[in-house]
Amino acid sequence: MTRYVLDTDGVTRARLTLADDPAQLRECASVVAATTAAAMSAVGPEGSYVHTALERFRMVHCRALDAVADAASALGDRLDQSTVEARSVELFVTTALAEAATELPAGMSGSSDAGSP
Amino acid sequence: MIRVHDVVRGSSDVPGDVALPSPGGSPAELRSAARSLECEAARARSTTTVGGTLGSRLGAVWTGAAATAARSEADELGRRSRGVVDALTTTARSLLSYAAALDHAVGRTRALQRQWDALDAEHALAARRLVGATDPTGVVRVLGLERAHVERAAARARLSRCHAGVLDELRAVAKRCAHVVAGVTDATLPSTAPATPANVRDAVTGSLWFADGVVSARASRTAALDDAALVRRALQAVEAGDIGGWDRRADDVAIAQIVHQVRDHADDPVYAQTLLTELGGDGLSRLLMGAGVAGGSTTGAHVDTVRNLLGAFGSLVVTGARHTVPVGTDPRTRAQLASGAALLADDLVAGAARVHADASGRDGATGAWLLGQLLSGARATGDDRRLPARLVRRAAAAAAAAEIAETRDADLELRHGTTLRPDAEAAFASWFDDAAGTGDALHVLLSEVGDHPAEQAAVLAEPLPGSSSAGGALANARGDRLTLGEHLVRRWITLEATGIESHPDLRLATDGDLQRLLPSISCATTADAAETRARVMLELSRSSSLAMAEASTTRLYTRATAPVEGLVVEWFSAMRANVDRALVVPSFGRRTGYAAETGVGLQPALDADELSGVIAALTIDTGMGLHAKDPGAGYVRLVESEIAWAERSVAHGRDVAVDVARLGFLDQSASAALVAVAHRQDELNRAALQGAAEAKNVIEEIRKGGPVGLMSTAQTYVTAGTSRTAGDDLVITLVRSNVELAQTERDDARHAALVARIEAFTGRRPSGVRASMETGAGRARAVPAADALRAARDAEIRAAWEAYRDSAVHRCSTRARVVIAEGSTTTGWESRRPGLRPRPPRASDEQSPPVPPSKATLGTGREAE
């Protein structure tokens, strides 16, 4: 039997490690947004430069974390797709081999069967 | 601060926290925020995505090019996300730095405030001491107070400068921290770009194809939802109106806006599927019907509007139904597009037979016709993308079933799928040029079929879906479910024949469809191809036998069957082995199915009756004139092919008796078909003469008796069922055509010629050839011999004469019983001289005994032709 270069179970396990990533990263973005807002109010009038910098930091990095979360989700789907395709190929090949074995004449199906009653 | 100092310069008691206020802000909150950012950064780093451990995990379980690509994608995403997360840590550190600086500044300010307050206290003490000291002149007190004021002012100025320095130092730290935060932010998104979600996504996950797909899919869905709302608002406006349709001037503008929106996304499958799903099959139909697609045009501008609408949504349907996805589409969107395309295809197929009415209820159209118009619209706008082959097959079969059902429902207004009236002599209605093609939904769908033989063969073999309206009409000659190939043959006969009655120049696009598709199954020896050939041959046989009853379809056969017949001849020759088996086992085809193995692969398997029907279809291809006919060109080709095969059999020393028997079967089947047509023509001729006689009698009765005569005629019809007299029937019997006899004689001549040809190359005696031919002929339907037909004609004339004579005797008996009795004993047709032709009976014949005709006077009946 052919040994496949894709261990679908292994890839599925690897994909499962990504399962929580999108949620974690989205929650991370939410916390960063709230935290940065609090920091902006805590810098005081002498920290107006910090305030301005934090304002842009907040907009950029919250959205950046959301984008990373989406990408993590898409990457998990991409691995799922590879696994499904690999399973389909495996099933197709296995079925083809089974059909080929069925179509063999009885005398060619194996030496052990030749002498069996 | 200087300003404060100036304000309090003259004051003797200004608190330090007023004179030197502490800097704002909360170091504790800043530290809390920094800790929170650190925690979130740690949490993000703990994920597999940011941690970058996915690549190594995949490497352990997956190798190869695909694995390398997946690992590189995972690594790239990890690298980019770590940049984002590192910015959190850097920012947290900056916040801590600023918090520390703020703490320090607050501490130093408070120290300065204490110094300020201490200075004031010291100044007050010094002042009290000077006031309490002995100074008779007061000069010392004044000078002392003045010095104390100066010293305090100098100290305050020093403190103020220190305070300003502290704040400046804090601002410098803030500036440095802000610079650091802005730096990490710029690393994520350059400061030149606005921090919009699209820009940030592009900067963080741009060029990661799987991530880009998610983003673009989201944008497409948003646009589709907005446009679906636009369409719904337009529909509500139409349906809320009193006119029940678009106000052309106002609503054409609304359509134009919808079309503009849809055209912008015509190639976007996510948009297409989302919009069509939001609208639903019913919503799209309502939009089209509301736009007056089934209501005819009112102005040239409206025609353009409707065409644009059909074109835009036609392209949208093509986009949504195709399985192709844009490059870079992420896996989830790809999977969603695949299932969305399947669902859309199901909707289109399920809606093919549904009749949609506009708001007024006057106009209607089937889903199949609307789909055909949408596709025609897409093609008219230059969209040449094809629908998926599977959808084309299913939709074409559904359109065919809807077409059959339409002929059996109670809706008389709907014609070929719409209430829109076709122009001039066109059979189909369409908003586009060439209505015969663009208005024929089935043809439009078949035009989507590619040139690959397997694809074309699959279309022909597609079974029609069930239909409650069509019922038994969906069964083929054997009672099985009709396939698309069979329907095309049936449609080509029935629909075109119906149309040709009123429009002699009608050309059904099915002619071209059959010519294009049938060759795909001509040479293949697979079971499917052989079954399709068998089904087409059977349907041709059945439709032909039905069509021969109508002159119009005979004309159709004369001019249009050649391509199909030529193919059938080839198929027939290729299935020679199965023909021979059917001659041995009459139920061969029905027992084995549509195909059976031969030496050259699987070929159609028909029983003897079915084969006779196919031969009949090839034989009958001339008009309905009252004369004997020769077999058609298809039959001649078939016979020539079989003779050539028999000659090769002789040359190779094979047993030619089988070939001769097959030729006998062909000859007998052709004769039976020709004689059947001739017999039907005789019957039609007799019916025509009988009708003329009835009309003549009615006119005479009315002329003679007026209303009384008319009443008398009506009573005659009620009691006898006819107004014809025995004299009329006798005349009709004498003058009616006898094509059947003429055809039989011509068939006998053709048979003799065939026997002679076979004798020539086989060298067998005529009796041997005839015996072999009769073996095959015995499997075909028997036909009466010429002598038997002559005898039957004589008997028919004799019976008519006797009926006439009895009638005359009965009439005379009421007037002169004696005379009639004498006449009946002295007259008889047997005593008349042969060779005399009878004169037509007249009314005066009823007064005297008639002269009977003889067989010899009538000849064979050819004179009647």
3-state SS of B648-662?
A: HHHHCCCCCHHHHHH
- How far apart, in whole angstroms, are the C-alpha atoms of residue B699 and residue B702? 5
Q: What is the pLDDT averaged over residues B7-16?
A: 61
Beta-strand runs (E) in B473-600:
595-598
Cβ contact, residue pair B25, A44, below 8 Å: yes
Q: Specify the 3-state DSSP secondary structure of B640.
A: helix
pLDDT over 90, % of chain A: 40
| pLDDT score recorded for residue A50 | 95
Amino acid at A68: V
B534 contacts B595 by C-beta, under 8 angstroms: yes
**pLDDT reported for residue B553:** 53
Opening angle at CA B358, ends B353 and B361, nearest 5: 95
- The mean pLDDT of B97-121, rounded to a whole number, is 94
pLDDT confidence of residue B28: 95
- Cβ contacts of residue A3 below 8 Å, gap of 6+? none
Say if residue B749's pLDDT is above 60.
yes
Q: Determine contact, residues B108/B77, Cβ cutoff 8 Å.
A: no
CA atoms within 13 A on the CB side of B776: 24
Q: Under a CB-based contact definition with an 8 Å cutoff, are residues B466 and B454 in contact?
A: no
B720 — pLDDT class (breaks 50, 70, 90): confident
pLDDT of residue B835: 36
In this prediction the ipTM stands at 0.76
pLDDT band at B566 (very low <50, low <70, confident <90, very high): confident
Q: Does the pLDDT at position B628 exceed 80?
A: yes
- DSSP H or E segment with residue B800: helix B786-813
Q: What is the DSSP letter of B428?
A: S
Using pLDDT thresholds of 50, 70 and 90, give the confidence band for residue A109: very low
Helix axes B726-735, B657-720, angle to 10 degrees: 160
Residue B82 pLDDT:
93
CB proximity list for B714: less than 8 A, separation 6 or greater? none
Residue B27: closest CA among A96, A30, A39: A39
Which residue, among B348, B371, B499, has the nearest Cα to B440 in the 3D structure? B371
Report the pLDDT value the prediction gives residue B56, as an integer from 0 to 100: 79
Measured CA to CA, the distance from residue B551 to residue B84 in angstroms comes to: 83
Among B residues 330-359, those touching chain A with beta carbons less than 8 Å apart: 330-332, 334-335
Report the C-alpha gap between B269 and B273 in whole angstroms. 6
- Between A57-71, B286-300, B325-339, B396-410, the lowest mean confidence (pLDDT) is in B286-300
Over residues B643-661, the mean pLDDT reads 90
B855 against A91, higher pLDDT: A91
CA pair distance B637, B278, nearest whole angstrom: 58
pLDDT digits (tens, 9 = 90+) for A24-36: 999 999 999 999 9
Average pLDDT over residues B82-88: 94
Query: Structural domain tally of chain A?
Result: 1
Please list the residues that pair with B355 across neighbouring strands.
B366
CA distance B515 to B619: 20
pLDDT at B832: 37
Q: Average pLDDT, stretch B387-412?
A: 86
- The fold adopted by the segment(s) B2-203 is Ferritin (1.20.1260)
Residues, chain A? 117
Average pLDDT over residues B350-360: 84
Highest mean pLDDT among A72-86, B36-50, B578-592: B36-50
Residue B832: CB atoms within 10 A of its CB come to 15
Q: Which residues of chain B from 371 to 400 reach within 8 Å of chain A, CB to CB?
A: none
Distance from CA of B160 to the nearest CA of A (A): 17
Helix (H) or strand (E) holding B366: strand B364-366
Instruction: Please tell me which residue of chain A has the smallest CA distance to B48.
Output: A18
State both tokens at B90: 């850097």
Indicate whether A32 belongs to any domain: yes
> B741: closest CA among B792, B802, B665, B685?
B792
Tokens coding B382: 């230059």
Q: Which two tokens stand for residue B6?
A: 């100036």
- DSSP letter at B329? -
pLDDT of B845 higher than 60? no
Q: What is the mean pLDDT of chain B?
A: 82
Chain A residues near residue B25 by CB distance under 8 angstroms: 42-47
Which band of pLDDT confidence, cut at 50, 70 and 90, is reported for residue B301? low
pLDDT on residue B2: 41
Q: Do A71 and B60 touch (CB under 8 A)?
A: no
Predicted confidence (pLDDT) per residue in B507-565, tens digit: 678 878 888 999 899 888 889 999 999 999 998 888 777 766 555 555 555 555 446 77
Contact B473, B540 (CB under 8 A): no
CB atoms within 10 A of CB B767: 9
User: Is A6 strand, coil or helix?
Assistant: strand
Taking phi over 0 as left and psi of -120 to 50 as alpha, with beta for the rest, B383 belongs to: beta
Interface of B with A in 51-110 (CB under 8 A): 53-54, 57-58, 60-64, 66-67, 70, 73-74, 77, 80-81, 84, 87-88, 91, 94-95, 98, 102, 105
Evaluate whether B518 touches B536 at the Cβ level (below 8 Å).
Answer: yes
Exposure string over B220-252, b if 16+ CB within 10 A, otherwise e? bbebbeebbebbeebbeebeeeeeebbebeebb
Contact partners, residue A89, CB within 8 Å, separation at least 6: none
* Amino acid A34: pLDDT: 96
Phi, psi of B596 (to 5 degrees): -145, 155
Neighbours of B655 (CB within 10 A): 9
pLDDT for residue B241 is more than 70: no
Query: Is the pLDDT at B852 greater than 60, yes or no?
Result: no
Q: Which of B1, B40, B337 to substitute to test the interface with A, most A CBs within 10 Å?
A: B40
End-to-end, the C-alpha distance of chain B in Å comes to 131
Whether A68 and B88 lie within 8 Å, measured CB to CB: no
Within 8 A of B30 by CB-CB distance, chain A residues are 39, 42-43
Contact A64, B90 (CB under 8 A): no
The pLDDT value given to residue B853: 47
pLDDT at A117: 34
Q: How many helices (H) and strands (E) does chain A have?
A: 4, 0
Residues with Cβ within 8 Å of residue A48, at least 6 apart in sequence: B174
User: What residue spans of B189-265 are helical by DSSP H?
Assistant: 197-205, 209-240, 248-264
CA distance B345 to B338: 11
The pLDDT confidence band at residue B1, using thresholds 50, 70 and 90, is very low
Q: How many helices (H) and strands (E) does chain B have?
A: 34, 4
8-state DSSP, B846:
G
**Which amino acid, residue B578?**
N
Lowest mean pLDDT among A36-50, B555-569, B626-640: B555-569
Can you say whether the dihedral through the CA atoms of B413, B416, B417, B420 is positive or negative?
Answer: negative
- pLDDT value at residue B822: 47
Task: List, as ranges, residues 138-177 from B with C-beta within 8 Å of A.
Answer: 167, 170-171, 174-175, 177
Question: Picking from B90-94, B298-302, B844-848, which range would have the lowest pLDDT averaged per residue?
Answer: B844-848
Q: What part of B 673-712 touches A (C-beta under 8 Å)?
A: none
B667: confidence class by pLDDT, cuts 50, 70, 90: very high
Residue B140 has pLDDT above 80, yes or no: yes
Q: Tell me if B589 sits within 8 A of B582, measured CB to CB.
A: yes
Residues above pLDDT 90, as percent of chain B: 38
Chain B residue at shortest CA distance from A43: B25
The residue ranges of every structural domain in chain B are 2-203, 214-448, 658-864
Domain with A41 in it: 17-83
CA distances from B843 to B170, B347, B397, B811, B849 (A): 138, 72, 62, 12, 12
**Min distance A86 CA to chain B CA atoms (Å):** 11
Which residue carries 């809390």 as its tokens?
A: B32
Whether residue A4 is contained in a domain is answered as: no
Residue A57 CA to residue A33 CA, distance in Å, equals 9
pLDDT(A113) > 50: no
Among B39, B43, B54, pick the best mutation site for testing chain A contact (most A Cβ within 10 A). B54
Provide the 3-class DSSP secondary structure of residue B507.
Answer: coil
Query: At B362, which helix (H) or strand (E)?
Result: none
Residue among B357, B353, B354, B351 nearest B245 (CA): B357
Give Cβ neighbours of residue B621 (< 8 Å, ≥ 6 apart).
Answer: B557, B558, B561, B565, B632, B633, B634
Chain B: nearest CA to A4, how far in angstroms?
9
Mean local confidence (pLDDT), B494-513:
63
Residue B415's beta-bridge partner residues?
B418
Query: For B59, which residue in chain A has the nearest alpha carbon?
Result: A11
* Range name among A61-65, B38-42, B428-432, B548-552 with the lowest pLDDT average: B548-552
Of B39, B58, B215, the CB nearest to A70: B215
Of the candidates B440, B437, B352, which has an alpha carbon nearest to the alpha carbon of residue B395? B352
Q: What is the mean pLDDT of residues B206-230?
A: 83
| Angle at CA of residue B805, ends B803 and B810, nearest 5° | 95
Which residues 28-57 of A have a C-beta within 8 angstroms of B? 28, 31-32, 35-36, 38-39, 41-50, 52-54, 56-57
- Rounded Cα distance between B262 and B347, Å, is 20
pLDDT score, position B411 = 67
Element at B476 (helix H, strand E): none
| B356, containing H or E segment | strand B355-357
Sort out which chain B residues have CB atoms less than 8 A from A71's CB and list them.
49, 77, 81, 204-205, 208, 210-211, 214
Cβ–Cβ gap B70/A64 under 8 Å: no
pLDDT at B463: 94
Tokens 């009315």 belong to B702
Residue B726, pLDDT above cutoff 90: no
Return the pLDDT at A79.
75
**Tell me: the pLDDT tens digits for B805-831?**
887 777 666 655 544 444 444 343 333
Nearest CA to B496 among B441, B546, B553?
Answer: B553
B-chain CB neighbours of A56 within 8 Å are 182, 185, 191, 195
pLDDT at B439 > cutoff 50: yes
| In contact, B344 and B320? CB cutoff 8 Å | yes
